[in-house]
Amino acid sequence: MKLEGKVALVTGSSQGIGQAIAIRLASEGADIIIDYRSHTEGAEETRSKVEAAGRKGLIVKADLGVVNDVRQMITEGVQHFGKIDILVNNAGIEKNASFWDVTEADYDAVLNVNLKGVFFATQALVKHLMDTKRTGKIINISSVHEELPFPHFTSYCASKGGVKMMMRNLAVELGPLGITINNVAPGAIETPINTKLLNDPEKLSALKKNIPLSRLGQPEDVAAMVAFLASSDADYVTGTTFFVDGGLLWNYQEQ
Ligand code: BGC
What is the predicted pLDDT for the residue at 252?
79
Looking at every residue in the chain, the average pLDDT score rounds to 97
Give the global pTM: 0.97
Task: Tell which wins on pLDDT, 36 or 255.
Answer: 36
Query: Residue 76 falls within a domain, yes or no?
Result: yes
- Which residue of the set 36, 156, 236, 252 is catalytic? 156
Whether 81 maps to a domain, the answer reads yes
Is any atom of ligand 1 closer than 6 Å to the C-beta of 110? no
252 assigned to active site: no
Hey, what amino acid is at 208? K
The 3-state secondary structure of 210-249, one letter per residue? CCCCCCCECHHHHHHHHHHHHCHHHCCCCCCEEEECCCHH
Segments forming the whole domain that contains residue 170? 7-244
Confidence of residue 211 (pLDDT cuts 50, 70, 90): very high
Q: How far is the CA of 156 from the centre of ligand 1 (A)?
A: 10
Within-domain flag for 255: no
Asked whether residue 92 is domain-assigned, the answer is yes
**Rounded to a whole number, what is the largest CA-CA distance in the chain?**
57
Q: How do residues 187-203 score in pLDDT, each as one tens digit?
A: 999 999 889 999 999 99
Rounded CA gap, 1 and 31, in Å? 13
d(CA 188, ligand 1 centre) in Å:
5
Which of 150, 156, 213 to mutate for ligand 1's pocket (most ligand atoms within 8 Å of CB)?
A: 150
Residue 1 lies in a domain: no
Q: Where are the alpha helices (DSSP H) in the chain?
A: 16-27, 40-52, 67-81, 104-111, 117-131, 154-174, 195-198, 201-209, 219-230
The total of structural domains in the chain comes to 1
Question: Is residue 253 a part of any domain in this protein?
Answer: no
- Tell me, in angstroms, the distance from the centre of ligand 1 to residue 83's CA: 33
> 123: which DSSP letter?
H
pLDDT above 70 covers what percent of the chain? 100
pLDDT in tens, 82-129: 999 999 999 999 999 999 999 999 999 999 999 999 999 999 999 999
Residue 191 placed within a domain: yes
pLDDT of residue 255: 63
CB contact at 8 A, 61 and 41: no
Q: What is the CATH number of the domain that holds 214?
A: 3.40.50.720
The answer to the question of residue 254 being in a domain is no
